[in-house]
Amino acid sequence: MEFTKMHGLGNDFIVVFGEKQLPADAAELAVKWCNRFFGIGADGLVYILPSEKADFQMRIMNSDGSEAEQCGNAIRCVSKYVYDHGHVTQEQITIETIGAGVQPVSLNIRDGKVETVRVDMGEPILNGLQVPTTVDANPVLDHSIEANGQEFKFTAVSMGNPHAVIYVDDAVNFDLSTWGPLLEVHPMFPKKINVEFATVRDRGYVDMRVWERGAGPTLACGTGACATLVSSVLNGHTDRTAVISLKGGDLHIEWSEADNHVYMTGPAEVVFKGVTS
């Protein structure tokens, strides 16, 4: 099978185009191919499929074989792939996701190739039971949670997939490997959770590091950046437009007052192409 290795700010994917539907063994293939020692190596396996509702549908299998409802970095990679390969010719396209529905995408073209992608990520879900969490509140702000004797405070946001945003003194050097796995599977999160650890530098700039559900620590998370901006606005930390600085680079996030939608702008890159054995 032919594939293209792509990444959005270091959050990397094996992208497959041409299948008519999600293969029955997609979960097993994701575990095999995403292995960084015995496979291709990636955070996830992404299938670009036909859609009756949009230009294309995106399905994402995490490196542990679970399926992600949405992924902001993956949708930028998918958008770049379909334009750069001539499957679409317009600069305004739509991508269907299983968690956030059909999302409009604007492509910034340079020298005939996609340079950056602006995605309408839709409206954030703030009702705790819908995120989902076990907390019956709307929104869930600064809520206490305990893991291994340590108390944290989180704000819950769904961007089509669930997020818990936690503010810490130093997100850049935070111990992800200790606390990420414990919080991901905490009983307060019935479908597990993506955990963002954030430090606000000023009203327009936030450092964030992420532990992704099903993938572990990644260099970037687009939906996590969106959730972090929404959380930061709700908690009074930032304005409605800010740079969310991830380990792999920066994303520009806006939470529009006009339509309540969150807009994400960032790059996508091709690493290499190959054929599986």
Binding residues: 11, 62, 72-73, 161, 194, 212-213, 222-223
Q: Could you confirm whether 77 is annotated as catalytic? A: no
DSSP 3-state assignment of 109? strand
Active site residue 221: yes
| Cα R_g (the chain), whole angstroms | 18
What DSSP element (H or E) covers 214? none
Q: Using alpha carbons, list the distances in angstroms from residue 92 to 35, 46, 105, 107.
A: 34, 21, 6, 6
Annotated binding site for substrate: 11, 62, 72-73, 161, 194, 212-213, 222-223
DSSP H or E run through 104: strand 101-110
Catalytic residue among 34, 71, 77, 226: 71
Helices of type H across the chain: 26-34, 72-84, 176-184, 222-234
Determine the Cα–Cα distance for residues 162 and 156; give it in Å rounded to an integer: 8
Catalytic residue among 34, 77, 221, 226: 221
Q: Which residues are catalytic?
A: 71, 221
